[in-house]
Amino acid sequence: MITAKSRFNTLVRSSPYLMMALLVLPVMGGLIAVVLPAFGWFPVLGHTQFNVSGFVDLWQTPGIGYMALLSVSTSFISTLLAFVITILILGSYFTSPWLGYIQRLLGPILVIPHAAAAIAIGFLITPSGMFSRLVSPWLSGWDSPPDWLFPHDAMGLSIILGLTLKELPFLLLMALGVLAQPELGHTLRAQHRVALSLGYCPMTAFFKVVLPSLYPFLRLPILAVLAYASASVEIPLILGPNSPPTLAVAIMQWFHDVDLSLRIKASAGAIVQIALTLFLLLGWWLAEKLIKKLSQSMLVNGKREYAGAIMQNITHVITVMMLTIIGLALLGMVLWSFAGFWAYPDLLPQTFVGQHWQSALQQMHTPLLDTLLIGGCATGLAIVLTLLTLESEQHTSKTTSRLTSVIIYLPLLIPSIAFLFGLVWVLEQVNSHHTFINVVLAHLLFVLPYVFLSLASSYRRLDPRFSYVAASLGASQAKIFWQIKLPMLLAPIFIAAALGLAISFSQYLPTLLAGGGRINTITTEAVTLANGASRRTSAVYALVQMLLPALGFLIAWALPKMLLTHRE
Amino acid sequence: MFPSKICNIKKHIVAAMALGVSVYACLWTSVAYAQTNELAAWEEIEARGVNQDVYFHAWGGDPQINRYIQWVAEQVKQQYQITLHHVKLTDTGEAVSRVLAEKSASNHQNGKVDLVWINGENFAAMAKHQLLAPNWVTQLPNFALTDPDNNPAMGRDFGVPTQGMEAPWGKAALTFYYDSLLTQTPPQTLQQLSLWAKQHPGRFSYPKPPDFLAMSFLKYALIALNNSQPDTIKNRLYQPASAQSQALLLPPLWQYLDDLHPNLWRKGQHFMSSGLALRRLMGDGELALAFTFSAAEVPAAVARFDLPDSTRSYRMRDGSLSNIHFVAMTYNAAHPNSAKLVVNFLLSPKAQAKKQQASVWGDTSVIALSQLPAAQQAWFSPPAESHPSANIVNQDSSPALSEPHPSWTNVLAAQWLLRYGVMR
């Protein structure tokens, strides 16, 4: 009994270090393997002297300034839009059952892989897309698709639309996750009610009472979203311009170019990409400080109403627009997956056939199994590590240091395009024969932060009095962990697991690179086909990609309820 | 002694292979001694190669081709208990970087890539960095069926000698297709294309270099536009691109493109990154004319409803760019013997005939039919019933244009990107 107890304590104490190692070593190793070639050290091509010719090449690339500007502007604007819409929705529907409905409607968007979402949105806004078909020919007079520049517009408006639609559900879900914590959520809702009873309009009450307490919990998710958007590849590749593209897309193309000496330029580009991302994060942080300072007096000036009704109406319009876009995009994907020939400007396909599903499903079982296995392993590992790390935090009764919490989010804050190519080289040195393990480890880099993000606050906010009572009754720490904390945290654990699975399911670059292409998941198949010529086949894969994580969330929602009723 | 030896060997060689080997053996009885040596060597490869995994890195963007490779995997499983893994690439450059990374990590024995589907630029890059195994193709019994002595093209990849690093797999020629409801008279020459685009603004496009199809279109234009030049100048296309030859050959191309671009899809302001997007834009009705290197994808796409029923295919009268695509083995392949067995199967009459069927893939065979008995030649004739777009107009009358020297690809891509790559 004593050995079992001490074994648990040892495990708990060592887990934070294991977690740090699993996060820091791959990222740092990958970065070093990119920094060296960036400064000219690339022995394969016989370059063994340090210089800055890669950066000089980069500087001389035509349109390089535009590439950087496009990356910065699209990611900043889309993150700002997603954040503003998130708080508008929260503010407008804070006390309304609609908040739950919107969450349920937007939830599935979170788990659609970026590539699939981009294709679905692309279908809406292309000249032959759903919007154009809706108004043709009766209103527009178009018998054949107009020759307009959407998507791929030079300003990146299509990228902004795609990124915003993908980021919004994530931020909203994170905010609702915070509000779902029994203690905090209850307090905030109670404070909101008090504000209402003091005559504040609901919107003002939200902004003055709830938001200041809520924002600190949203800061890291927002920064992660911003960092991701600044270096994401799939959406700008499919919806963005290509003359020139965003910096991240250009870097990927240089890395993949047959001219191997371009790797040096690509590595230099990766370093610049990191600098851009850091610049964006810093910019957001400064803007946040500024707004906080400026709005301090507004918080306590006692004013009850700031055109709340108008804002609420604007929110209604935005929400309806967002849901319409998403609804039409989903409808479009379903229609494509069953479509016979579908001529312009017909609103519906001429015939509906099942052959696209049939032939896709025949080829799908191996990738499907791999997707589930990798997702399951990465998520399981992430949950165990997170729980043990959080438990160790409570044993030593100090919260993780600032450095540690930055390290946890390292893979989310450093653009993956910057370290993944190096990581492949590192994996090649260490363990080149167990591709499956490599892929799981690469997925873990991205799954772990999200799982930690989603579990940490619930765990830390668990009322310590339960543990005190149990301990005073003689329960060991292991027993408290297993029999008190875990059952109380069942719902957040399942949500975190579903989130982890969804993140794992949607990984493209890590699967492709760490797996050496040997391991195909539904996502790698979908992206390969998305670059292909058939909207119909990629619609089938995109829908399967959506169904998988949706199933995960359904289980995460239903299972704790069943287990808890069983316990009672 | 010789026949008995052949009989002996036959016992060891699996059924489908036997025919090919005996045809091969019969043709070369005069060099019997060398043959038996080679056969013994092949027998050893067969003995060592069975029952292993082979990782075949091949572009995976076309479900039809993926299905064919799946069929190959079933066949080699049956014959040799080889498990063939199709590693689906979005870009063959990925395989190049992988092998390069392995070389830099001093992994010289246990590479993750056994075979790569490759040609042109990617081959030139891999050969330059010595990432491929040399002199193994002539060991394959079925390689003789391509009649390499009379078809020097089988040993040249975009003009570069293959030195036995890669085996030919299929042939392709640039084929145009159009929607006959939108245009009845598609352009027949490059000059007509420019006029046609003026009459149908926004209905034609080509992808953005360095996409493979984009480069093919530019090379076709470069050759066609310089057709009237004297031979001494024209032949410079098949030599490394020097500054002088660029000054002689490129101006007509840029002039042509300057004239063409305003009439292209999106007014030439945007070009699709992927050549496959052309087919999607045809299906959407945004384009009325497009082109492809795999002509069989057209009727197959019509059958899958990805293209309208009114689609028709043809070749340009002023010539069609033609090339051969190959399967190469890496220098550090972990399963070289099994990989050779797989490639030998890919070159077998059975596999090549299946590949040529329009309903399967429609990729033209590399086997010289004269090397086959009449019964096997019949496998290669097309089925009677197929969509009209499977019938390529001008197929025989359109002259085949050879690929220029690979150095032209870089020159064209770089100069195109300088001129049109960044919007002003």
Torsion of CA A456, A457, A463, A464, to 10 degrees: 40
| CA gap A127, A140 in Å, rounded | 12
Which tens digit of pLDDT belongs to each residue from B172-231? 889 999 999 989 999 999 999 999 999 999 999 999 988 889 999 999 999 999 988 898
What DSSP string describes B285-313?
TS-SEEEES-TTHHHHHHHTTSS-TTEEE
What total of structural domains would you count in chain A?
Answer: 2
Domain boundary among A322, A353, A384: A353
Q: For residues A212 and A313, state if they share a domain.
A: yes
Q: For residues A360 and A347, state if they share a domain.
A: no
| CA gap B199, B187 in Å, rounded | 11
Q: Encoding tokens for residue A443?
A: 């997925």
Residue A157 forms contact with B (CB below 8 Å): no
Q: Which of A244, A258, A351 sits opposite B96 (nearest CB)?
A: A258
Domain boundary among A353, A381, A406: A353
The nearest alpha carbon in chain B to A46 belongs to B104
Domain boundary among A353, A384, A408: A353
| CA gap A303, A311 in Å, rounded | 16
Q: Which residues contact B124 (CB under 8 A, 6 or more apart)?
A: A258, B157, B158, B160, B406
Structural contact between residues A191 and A209, judged by C-beta atoms closer than 8 angstroms: yes
DSSP-based three-state secondary structure for B104:
helix
| CA gap A404, A385 in Å, rounded | 14
Give A414→chain B minimum CA distance, Å: 23
Greatest CA separation for chain A: 82
Find which of B64, B182, B270 to mutate to test the A interface (most A CBs within 10 Å of its CB). Answer: B270
- Give the other-Cβ count within 10 Å of B144's Cβ: 21
DSSP-based three-state secondary structure for B158:
coil
Interchain proximity B67–A363, CB inside 8 Å: yes
| CA gap B143, A23 in Å, rounded | 50
pLDDT at A195 over 70: yes
Which tens digit of pLDDT belongs to each residue from A552-568? 888 888 888 887 776 55
Q: What percent of chain B shows pLDDT beyond 90?
A: 46
Q: For residues A277 and A401, state if they share a domain.
A: no
| CA gap A24, A403 in Å, rounded | 12
Chain Cα centroid distance, residue A18: 24
Q: For residues A564 and A436, state if they share a domain.
A: yes
| CA gap B53, B347 in Å, rounded | 19
Q: Which residues contact A58 (CB under 8 A, 6 or more apart)?
A: A64, A265, A268, A269, A272
The nearest alpha carbon in chain B to A43 belongs to B104
pLDDT at A429 over 90: no
The nearest alpha carbon in chain A to B422 belongs to A243
Range of the domain at A427: 1-51+355-568
Supply the pLDDT for residue B2: 38
Structural contact between residues A72 and A280, judged by C-beta atoms closer than 8 angstroms: yes
Give me the count of residues in chain B. Answer: 424
| CA gap B312, B289 in Å, rounded | 10
Q: For residues A372 and A520, state if they share a domain.
A: yes
Find which of B83, B90, B130 to mutate to test the A interface (most A CBs within 10 Å of its CB). Answer: B90
Which residue from A213, A226, A113, A121 is spatially nearest to A171, judged by alpha carbons? A226
Structural contact between residues A226 and A79, judged by C-beta atoms closer than 8 angstroms: yes
Q: Which of B85, B102, B283 sits opposite A428 (nearest CB)?
A: B102
Q: Encoding tokens for residue B306?
A: 């990805």
DSSP-based three-state secondary structure for A42:
strand
Structural contact between residues B361 and B65, judged by C-beta atoms closer than 8 angstroms: yes
| CA gap B331, A410 in Å, rounded | 37
| DSSP for residue B159 | T
Q: For residues A366 and A433, state if they share a domain.
A: yes
| CA gap A250, B370 in Å, rounded | 48
A349 preceded by a cis bond (ω within 30 of 0) = no
Which tens digit of pLDDT belongs to each residue from A278-304? 999 999 999 999 999 988 888 888 788
Interchain proximity A147–B421, CB inside 8 Å: no
Interchain proximity B266–A520, CB inside 8 Å: no
Interchain proximity B63–A537, CB inside 8 Å: yes
Residue found by looking up tokens 């849901």 in the block: A323
pTM of the predicted protein model: 0.76
Q: Please, where are the H alpha helices in B28-120? A: 32-49, 63-80, 93-104
pLDDT band at residue B75 under the 50/70/90 scheme: very high
Q: Please, where are the H alpha helices in A396-463? A: 402-408, 410-413, 416-430, 435-460
Supply the pLDDT for residue A400: 62
| CA gap A414, A292 in Å, rounded | 26
pLDDT band at residue A399 under the 50/70/90 scheme: low
Q: For residues A476 and A371, state if they share a domain.
A: yes
- Give the other-Cβ count within 10 Å of B45's Cβ: 20
Q: For residues A247 and A374, state if they share a domain.
A: no
Interchain proximity B103–A44, CB inside 8 Å: yes
Q: Which of A263, A341, A532 sits opposite B309 (nearest CB)?
A: A341
Helix B349-356 × helix B336-346 angle, to 10°: 60
Strand segments, DSSP code E, in B113-162 are 115-118, 156-157, 160-161
For chain B, the 3-state helix, strand and coil shares in percent, each to the nearest 5, are 50, 15, 35
pLDDT at B20 over 60: no
Find which of A235, A258, A537 to mutate to test the B interface (most B CBs within 10 Å of its CB). Answer: A258
Which tens digit of pLDDT belongs to each residue from A13-31? 888 888 888 888 888 888 8
pLDDT at A180 over 50: yes
Q: Encoding tokens for residue A30?
A: 């990958």
DSSP-based three-state secondary structure for A543:
helix
Least confident piece of the model among A338-352, B45-59, B392-406: B392-406
Least confident piece of the model among A106-115, A271-280, B51-60, B317-326: A106-115
Structural contact between residues A170 and A506, judged by C-beta atoms closer than 8 angstroms: no
pLDDT at B35 over 70: no
Residue A343 forms contact with B (CB below 8 Å): yes
Q: Encoding tokens for residue A347?
A: 């609103």
Interchain proximity B304–A259, CB inside 8 Å: no
Q: For residues A173 and A242, state if they share a domain.
A: yes
Q: What percent of chain A shows pLDDT beyond 70?
A: 95
Chain A CB contacts of B278 under 8 Å are 533
Q: How many CB pairs under 8 A join A and B?
A: 170
Residue A41 forms contact with B (CB below 8 Å): no
Q: For residues A41 and A182, state if they share a domain.
A: no
Residue A259 forms contact with B (CB below 8 Å): yes
Helix A435-460 × helix A490-506 angle, to 10°: 150
Supply the pLDDT for residue A380: 95
Give B113→chain A minimum CA distance, Å: 9
Expressed in angstroms, the distance from the first to the final Cα of chain B is 77
Find which of B112, B113, B122 to mutate to test the A interface (most A CBs within 10 Å of its CB). Answer: B112
Chain Cα centroid distance, residue B267: 31
Give B20→chain A minimum CA distance, Å: 32
Chain B CB contacts of A128 under 8 Å are 284-286
pLDDT band at residue B19 under the 50/70/90 scheme: very low
| CA gap B200, B223 in Å, rounded | 25
Q: Encoding tokens for residue B221?
A: 């234009």
- Residue A483 sits in a domain whose CATH number is 1.10.3720.10
| CA gap B170, B356 in Å, rounded | 9
Q: Which of B62, B100, B304 sits opposite A536 (nearest CB)?
A: B304
Q: For residues A104 and A86, state if they share a domain.
A: yes
Asked if the interface predicted TM-score (ipTM) of this complex is over 0.85, the answer is no
Residue found by looking up tokens 């293959």 in the block: B162
Q: Which pairing describes strands B311-314 and B175-179: parallel, antiparallel, or unpaired?
A: antiparallel
| CA gap B104, B99 in Å, rounded | 9
Supply the pLDDT for residue B263: 95
DSSP-based three-state secondary structure for A399:
coil
Supply the pLDDT for residue A84: 94
Least confident piece of the model among A182-196, B63-77, B372-386: B372-386
Residue A399 forms contact with B (CB below 8 Å): no
| CA gap A318, A321 in Å, rounded | 5
pLDDT band at residue A269 under the 50/70/90 scheme: very high
Cα-trace Rg, chain B: 23
Find which of B304, B332, B423 to mutate to test the A interface (most A CBs within 10 Å of its CB). Answer: B304
Residue A527 forms contact with B (CB below 8 Å): yes
Least confident piece of the model among A143-152, A161-170, A537-546, B232-241: A143-152
B202: left (phi over 0), alpha (psi -120 to 50) or beta: left
Q: Which of A256, A343, A516 sits opposite B285 (nearest CB)?
A: A343
pLDDT at A200 over 60: yes
Structural contact between residues A323 and A101, judged by C-beta atoms closer than 8 angstroms: no
Q: For residues A123 and A18, state if they share a domain.
A: no
Amino acid at A513: L
| DSSP for residue B261 | G
Residue found by looking up tokens 């994907």 in the block: A333
DSSP-based three-state secondary structure for B372:
coil
Strand segments, DSSP code E, in B174-308 are 175-179, 289-292
Give B321→chain A minimum CA distance, Å: 22
Q: Which of A44, A237, A243 sits opposite B100 (nearest CB)?
A: A44
| CA gap A494, A264 in Å, rounded | 44
pLDDT band at residue A528 under the 50/70/90 scheme: confident
